[in-house]
Structure 1
């Protein structure tokens, strides 16, 4: 599964996790993780990093990543907007980090522990600590230049689908709305999402249907229409193709998954065909 977390946009958010396991997802904000205790595997762009107690890790905006804990982990996470660190955001444009795992000096660790990962901290102190942390990170790694990207377009596309997937939409209609050519958006989807727009839309609709099947008593025909399908036959065909069972069978199984902890809205759930 791939999750688009649209709500991480212009905020700074802190989370304290225990034995974190979370599937592939992406968002506009930077994500800083500090492993307080234990071990954790973090996969970024299909590359695995083994995080140990006391280490930090930084995930850049729109990088697809996931977390996995085999035995035990306790971590603090801070997700912050690129607008908080514009100088660094310009530095990393069209780049990735050679190694996102790093350590902090004792002086920086003491200062940052008082400010980050806490609610209601002073905003100026938070920004100052972020730049100090990023300076120490760049002293331990380097940037790898990549192809020119348009991350804001990715946000626009995913947000548009999120807001309109229950309606009759197409890539051509979105191209007209956003002012891009159909061919450009089609190539963009295949490059960044690793699937066609039609598959993307069907994955989004079917996974929303799963949410409704589990948490509501609506009948299957009503759910099909609520998810944007005009034909129950088309709904059933796509559901079986994606979930390898019928909607009725899925409801009877009552699967317990990460969706129990992380509600569907305001996120998009899709399969990631490149995920191992």
Structure 2
């Protein structure tokens, strides 16, 4: 029996050293886009057509003014309505280009909350649509020219676009204070990108040249939960997305999100969701 696995897409691997890992275009979708994921972030805005998008297992309508933001390895698929052609602004980038200074810490924490602290999509107001279109047009123009400061301009406009997306949710963000050296933000970004791999406090300590007790203190002070709780939450959330969006065998799901033992996966899943993976899939299909 064939099961639907999310395809892996990588459009940024062609960028050479020194180039900004960023791409923007106006895309036209004439048919469905199959379930896929990628290791870059994506911000999009529908400008024409209708359909629906299944983003991390959540099905929502797509229409002019619908904006979506995906973190790396969020899974999604798009289906056009019959006879409808969907056109979108689509901006893809390595999320690390946004975090060069301690000033970026607040934005970083808010972006990492996409899909958990707030919805990964929003239907924008007319005024916000006009503003976001202008930002996208500015980025497209800059992307195709060779003006001095091109990369800095794109980065500034991208930050503006993401902040507008976040603010349109009318969400009161309670962002914990982040240390001035931004070590905890660096660690959280790394975990978000590598949560499906083998991770431990010892490996993080080695990579970031910190002691294990220091990392534990950073999690307690700035995240409010332990490293293992944070890692398990990411893995279980990813497992939920796969259980709802695919027909992958549950044992394969557990491996895909980073658990070496199915028994551990089942126990942790039950701990976080209050039901078994099997029942979760059954209740959410």
Q: TM-score, normalised by structure 2?
A: 0.46
Query: Higher relative CO (CA 8 A, sep ≥ 6), structure 1 or 2?
Result: 1
Q: TM-score, normalised by structure 1?
A: 0.47
